[in-house]
């Protein structure tokens, strides 16, 4: 997953054009950090520094924008477009650092600041994009863009700015602009509430049991961790199993007590919808209505139509077609898999019908029967540091010539965070990489990448990029052993990091991952292929005690099982994607009153209402959809995977893990950011449009 600290749609610089007021004297956010690559001075930044810096940042940028809009000089590319690119240095610095910390290391003060500032920041964006004089300058340049004879990147920037202004409501009447401002403020506030509710509900929803025996099947270390978690919350003698943000919970694959599994599953599925202070049902309805009203005001049929127009998919019909075509074969596969699981239950004389709480547990049993291994056999070979340094970094070295050097002198916001200098093949430093791998109660769920500093030759900046995972931290002295999925996630997120670090653009608006949402996951998904590439895996998959490499026969079984359980995985993903579209293809008049009823009916209408496979995210904890990042865009992972699967075939056809292949991918796509139409970038790399056959084959949807 990619998370970009919101830049309000305007690309802000890292150098201050106007000096901050004396109110920021002594505030470390007032000026760019003096640390290498403007790496944030985490040791000096305090919670109380943010609000005054936010306010001053907005004041300065509006002053800069006012100067551009009211300039007596005739509009030019430099005095209008480039000037906007250089505006807002203080605000972007504050907003980027705050947004990243609020996701990775929040507290009650930061949450309160987020609640206070989100509507103000939305109003600030409106003050820029709904500035009639500013838009008039942009439009005058856009209308004569051919005559300006700009270079390709500059012309694309002008076109992009014009599109941004139009989509933000620049062509609305004065009255409608005021309506839009109110809606945007409402949406910003509601999205913040939704996000905070999800995290607080997740932290409050752990499963508490009284005895170790109830957690039979979990490792002794995991049970000890559950005991420590309960003790930390004042429940000495009990055991607390934390939950993650997806519907499925990792312990479900291990717990032998079915009643405990069912409690954990029910608890997970009920989050945000069972009353109490963190209930998100009303929040969802208000968000859906506000977004639908915004789309209608801007002239679109619904919010999905508004959102998709700016993506490579372009329209709801294209997305609906992709999802509907895959839904039936995916569910059919899932039902076949359920029959296999039921056969094991019946053979064990279980006396019950397979349910959502049983799927992971019996999947491991079927996997063990079919491929003679289970996930726990892999974990001793997947020690975190080996995976990162001898796997993820090793692949980047072989493919792109990168090298990494850990440094301990830069400040971090949490002692578990690691920092690495990243050097290019020519020995010059390319970027700084931050690795934040462990789960914390004050850290949002899932895995993501973000940037503290984005590359731009206009500004002379280089990338400071961070990866965040949520790996459970073992007790002191114990190794951190990963699941196969966590290994893939580490490679995936580093694919996003590479996209940011390799950026070689002039304008910050186009830096790194500034591409459509349904394209941004593509390079990161490609990077997953190296997790099981024989040369890479042999370099990192070594037993944490003995150093012995993973046996080839075990790896062969892992590869042979890659299509295993794809019916489940595809169905749970499609269910969430279809829900996301269904909510955002409503008009204001169609917004329901019953969230769970609408969800159930939608799943039924779309043919994915298969109870043993619930959506990967149910509506009330679907942060991708309702926190703003992937609104009407959760389909993007599948859309990107079509490109990814085709690209994996290209790498295989051209010899795999070789510098010539990495250099080509970097030059034609990874370094280009958003400087061209996303699909043009793909065609320049691949030599043609993508085909879907590799994706169908990968997901076992070909009937073979």
**Whether the Cβ atoms of residue 260 and residue 217 lie closer than 8 Å to each other:** no
Residue 358 CA to residue 341 CA, distance in Å, equals: 9
665-680 b/e with 16+ CB inside 10 Å = b? bbebbbbbbbbbebee
For the chain, counts of helices (H) and of strands (E) = 28, 7
Q: Which residue has the tokens 């359980």?
A: 565
Closest by CA position to 635, among listed 528, 529, 517:
517
Q: Residue 368: exposed, middle, or buried by beta-carbon count in 10 A (0-12, 13-18, 19+)?
A: middle
SS (HEC) of 150-189: CCHHHHHHHHHHHHHHHHCCCCCCHHHHHHHHHHHHHHHH
Percentages (nearest 5) of helix, strand, coil residues in the chain = 55, 5, 35
Determine the Cα angle at 496 with ends 491 and 497, to 5°.
90
CA distance 506 to 461: 10
Q: How far apart are CA 161 and CA 675, in angstroms?
A: 13
- Residue numbers annotated as active site: 493
DSSP state of 314: -
Token readout for 419 is: 């920092």
Q: Is 354 helix (H, G, I), strand (E, B) or coil?
A: coil
Contact 246, 617 (CB under 8 A): yes
Regarding beta strands 418-423 and 403-407, do their DSSP bridges make them parallel or antiparallel, or are they unpaired? Answer: antiparallel
DSSP string, 569-633: HHHHHHHHHHHHHHHHT--GGG--S-HHHHHHHHHHHTT---TTS--SS-GGG-HHHHSSTTTTT
User: Using CA atoms, how far apart are residues 403 and 289, in angstroms rounded to an integer?
Assistant: 49
């Amino acid at each position: 997953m990619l998370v970009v600290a919101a830049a309000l749609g305007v690309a802000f610089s890292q150098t201050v054009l106007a000096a901050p007021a004396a109110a920021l004297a002594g505030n470390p956010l007032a000026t760019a950090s003096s640390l290498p690559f403007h790496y944030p001075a985490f040791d000096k930044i305090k919670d109380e520094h943010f609000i005054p810096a936010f306010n001053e940042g907005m004041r300065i940028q509006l002053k800069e924008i006012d100067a551009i809009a009211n300039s007596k000089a005739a509009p030019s590319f430099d005095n209008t477009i480039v000037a906007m690119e250089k505006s807002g240095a203080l605000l972007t610095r504050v907003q980027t650092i705050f947004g990243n910390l609020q996701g990775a290391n929040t507290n009650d003060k930061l949450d309160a600041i987020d609640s206070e500032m989100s509507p103000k920041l939305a109003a600030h964006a409106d003050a820029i994009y709904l500035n009639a004089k500013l838009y008039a300058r942009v439009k005058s340049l856009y209308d004569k863009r051919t005559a300006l004879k700009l270079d390709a990147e500059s012309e694309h920037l002008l076109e992009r700015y014009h599109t941004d202004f139009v989509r933000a409501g620049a062509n609305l009447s004065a009255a409608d602009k005021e309506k839009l401002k109110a809606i945007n403020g409402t949406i910003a506030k509601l999205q913040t509430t939704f996000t905070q509710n999800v995290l607080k509900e997740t932290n409050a929803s752990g499963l508490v049991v009284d005895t170790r025996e109830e957690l039979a099947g979990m490792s002794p270390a995991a049970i000890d961790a559950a005991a420590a978690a309960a003790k930390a919350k004042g429940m000495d003698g009990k055991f607390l199993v934390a939950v993650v943000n997806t519907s499925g919970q990792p312990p479900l694959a291990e717990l032998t007590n079915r009643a405990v599994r069912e409690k954990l599953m029910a608890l997970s599925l009920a989050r945000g919808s069972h009353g109490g202070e963190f209930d998100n049902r009303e929040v969802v309805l208000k968000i859906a209505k506000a977004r639908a009203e915004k789309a209608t005001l801007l002239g679109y049929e619904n919010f999905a139509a508004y959102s998709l127009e700016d993506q490579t998919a372009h329209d709801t019909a294209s997305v609906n077609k992709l999802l509907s075509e895959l839904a039936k074969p995916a569910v059919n596969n899932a039902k076949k898999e359920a029959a296999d699981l039921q056969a094991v239950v019946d053979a064990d004389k279980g006396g019950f019908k397979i349910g959502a709480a049983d799927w992971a547990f019996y999947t491991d049993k079927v996997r063990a029967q079919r491929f003679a291994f289970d996930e726990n056999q892999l974990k001793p070979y997947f020690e975190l540091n080996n995976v990162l340094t001898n796997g993820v970094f090793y692949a980047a070295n072989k493919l792109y010539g990168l090298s990494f050097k850990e440094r301990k002198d830069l400040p971090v916001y949490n002692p578990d965070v690691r920092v690495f200098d990243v050097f290019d093949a020519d020995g010059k430093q390319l970027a700084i990489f931050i690795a934040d791998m462990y789960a914390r109660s004050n850290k949002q769920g899932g895995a993501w990448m973000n940037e503290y500093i984005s590359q731009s030759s206009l500004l002379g900046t280089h990338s400071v990029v961070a990866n965040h995972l949520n790996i459970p931290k073992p007790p002191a002295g114990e190794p951190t052993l990963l699941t196969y999925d966590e290994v893939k996630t580490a490679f995936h997120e580093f694919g996003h990091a590479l996209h940011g670090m390799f950026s070689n653009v002039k304008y910050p608006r186009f830096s790194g991952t500034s591409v459509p949402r349904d394209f941004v996951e593509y390079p990161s998904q490609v990077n997953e292929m190296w997790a099981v590439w024989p040369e890479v895996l042999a370099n990192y998959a070594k037993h944490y005690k003995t150093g012995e490499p993973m046996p080839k026969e075990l790896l062969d079984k892992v590869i042979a099982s890659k299509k295993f359980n794809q019916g489940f995985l595809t169905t749970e993903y499609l269910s969430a994607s279809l829900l996301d579209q269904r909510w955002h293809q409503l008009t204001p008049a169609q917004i329901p009153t019953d969230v769970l009823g609408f969800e159930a009916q939608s799943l039924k209408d779309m043919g994915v209402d298969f109870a043993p496979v619930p959506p990967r995210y149910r509506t009330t904890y679907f942060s991708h959809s309702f926190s703003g990042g992937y609104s009407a865009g959760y389909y993007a992972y599948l859309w990107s995977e079509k490109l990814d699967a085709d690209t994996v075939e290209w790498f295989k056809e051209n010899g795999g893990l070789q510098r010539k292949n990495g250099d080509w991918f970097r030059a034609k796509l990874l370094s280009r950011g958003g400087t061209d139409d996303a699909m043009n970038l793909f065609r320049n790399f691949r030599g043609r449009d993508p085909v879907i056959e590799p994706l169908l084959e990968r997901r076992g949807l070909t009937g073979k």
